[in-house]
Chains A and B, each alone.
Chain A
Amino acid sequence: MSHLDEGQLTCLLDDELTADERRAAEAHLGACAECRRLYEEIRAFSGEADALVTAVELPRQPAAPPARSAQPTTAGTSRTPLPWRSLAWAATVILAIGLGYSMRTRPTGMAQSDIGTDKGVAEREIAPPATAPAPPESGPPAVGFTLPRPADAPPPAAPAQARSEEAATPAATPAPTALRRDNRLTELASDATAPVAGATGNLDRTPAVSTKQAPAEARSIAAPVVAFHQVAMEEAVRTLGGTIRLLDGLKPQRVLTGPGTLVPGASADLPVVRVVYDDPPGRELWLDQQRLRVAEGARTGLTASAAPLLVGDTVAAPAAQGMQSVRWMDQAGFRLALTGFLPTDSLRALLRRVE
């Protein structure tokens, strides 16, 4: 008999040979020192390798299987029971839709007379933390919500009539790092047309000025509060017609959607999907996206409130609170904006990783 190869010796070791093959192999091993040496070597490797793999055990018990039904099933009359995971998934979807609906409808459900009053704001007003910054004395009276500013951020924007489009659209206002990691469900922001500087915030954010202190004329012109709300990735994908743009190499922290009015230069009549990331220093980085209608996107990507943006164009602009924003159109009709605290050059480098 010729020498046994590694495959045969491994089969012998794993008890995968037929009785005849085993007898022949063992007979050969009894007579061949070279094959015996190889067999011992393989056996040592095998034992060590198998021990290595089987030593990797689950850190925790996986979710338990569903409880078996006590009722016997009858062929033809029973249905295949659903696995618990499917039910959990369905429940999650229903919950997400319900939450999304409730968060969307709340602001619009307020009477106009309630907006900017205690009645309208009370539900969203939360006691300010001790470190909440005071509103600038020289600034215009603010109604609604203002984010506490990062330490390095410039002061709030100039009066409403002098503001640029970027500053006038507080959807680009960042969340400060200290308040960013809570489990919030919504991000409230003022309408792009609201004449209030920095009038944006979250449920847990601090009103800059109590509405009791706001002048009557300021309250009378306050715009309805519209909101970003958190959604599942699947819902965001559906919103964008079956696909979504993501930043290669960064992990999305959460996904939000809101009306186009919340984002500078976006089409007001289309929803915006915002994918929120953390940049390397841990601050928020937003990838806003709209999928324009075929005719609109193919033509220019022109929006009602922005300069024409052609496919291939990249426009950089300062955003509120010291953020920078880079906007562009891609070939598939996506209007995108990458907004964060990073320098414009870094944002431009990052946009090449959007896919």
Chain B
Amino acid sequence: MAYDRFVSHRAAVVSVFIMATLVIFVALSPFTARYGVNESVQAPPNYFLSPRANAWLGTDDIGRDLYSRLIYGVRVSLIIGIFSGLISVAIGCLIGSVAGFRGGRFDDVVMRVTDLFLAFPFLVTLLVMRNMIGGISWLKPVTGELNSVRFIIVLFAIFGWMGVARIVRGQVLALKEREFIEAARAVGASRWYIVRRHLLPNSIGPIMVALTFSVVSAIISESTLAFFGYGPQAGDGATSLGILVGQAKGAVNTGFWHLALFPCLTLVVIALCINFIGDALRDATDPRLQRDA
């Protein structure tokens, strides 16, 4: 039934197809890309070429094919988005469900802390936290180097769980008073059992919604960081969607529209698709709508 409601959102269905196509394309990247990520299209002069037969989307400042770089870049960004999204959701579910279920001081503390963090300008907190975590040397084994992809994933996970935790907490609070929870308690189920078997499975809807928004938020944040030069340097000329969009800034002044347009367009399309999917998921799993048979 939720499936029916989801499918009735045409934009979301289209988005699913687009994203699926994109993911397949990107996953098969050695085959779908035309050149290597650091490979020049032809002998010089090969820079800033506009779209043409041997470089579908044009070339960048040192002659690399934008189309291929875009594929590799999207791959990196999707990896960052998906992994940090999954980790955020895992942590967020844990903390959020405990906070909602136990209430009391733990809940209060969690709420105030997340309130405060979420109220600050996002970029500022991101940059400050990034440097701070990067500066703590004993964290390095976990996080990797400051500029690595792993670091960014850890950073976003450290942030992302807060939004997810609030959503899960809200859902748990709403479910806590329902009778089937009381029944479980009356039968002697442990609190952990209740959370695991009853609360979380009934929160799948909001959790999925939280996941999609985590992913899209990570992808956009990564691109924002890269735009300002704080993004991941994946080594060997490897690139991310954010880095490619960052190069768009210079492209405006030099007037090479293809360098600005295509990465931006890709980013916007990805964000739009994931947002549509998340919105449709939210409508499809809305508990208020579930009451009519």
Q: A and B from one assembly?
A: no
- B contact set with A: CB distance below 8 Å: none
